[in-house]
Amino acid sequence: MLPLSHILIFTTLLFLIGLYGVLTRRNVVGILISIEIMLNAANINFVAFSASLDVSPQIGQVFVIFIIVLAAATASVALAIVLSIYRNQKTIYTDEIDLLKW
């Protein structure tokens, strides 16, 4: 099996790519997509740690299950919010949703 540090570098890069998406996308749904990538990077980290470190192997996987479930909840609530914003503001671009700024 390949060394743990390689997987960690990979997940770091994946996380940073997701973060890049979060910080540069204008579209709310695009930001949500990027957040999913970040969550996946974290999940791979959990699995890799639990598989190769000296801990009980279930712990990491249980956390991954929790994260997946939370991601599902996040996605549903966030998309409901997106729909609601679109209905009220007729836009889903984050820099145009500026009702509280003035």
Partner 1 sequence: MDIFGLIGPASFYGFMAGILVLAVLTVTTRNLFHSAIFLAFTLIGVACIYFFLRAEFLGGVQILLYVGAIMTLVIFAIMLTAKMGDPSIPQSNRQRLPVFLALAALAFLLVPQIVKTSWKVVESLKTTSAVELGQALMSEFVLPFELISIVLLAALIGAIAIARSDQ
Q: Rounded to the nearest 5 degrees, what angle is found at the Cα of 10, between the Cα atoms of 9 and 14?
A: 115
Q: Is 53 in the site for partner 1 (CB under 8 A)?
A: yes
**For residues 65 and 71, is the Cβ–Cβ distance under 8 A?**
no
The size of the interface with partner 1 (CB under 8 A), counted in residues, is: 72
Measured from the CB of residue 99, what is the shortest distance to partner 1 in angstroms? Answer: 17
Q: Is 81 in the site for partner 1 (CB under 8 A)?
A: yes
Q: Rounded to the nearest 5 degrees, what angle is found at the Cα of 38, between the Cα atoms of 34 and 39?
A: 115
What contacts 87, CB < 8 A, 6 or more positions away? none
Q: Is 32 in the site for partner 1 (CB under 8 A)?
A: yes
Measured from the CB of residue 45, what is the shortest distance to partner 1 in angstroms? Answer: 11
Q: Is 51 in the site for partner 1 (CB under 8 A)?
A: yes
Residues 5-24 contacting partner 1, CB under 8 A: 5-10, 12-14, 16-21, 23-24
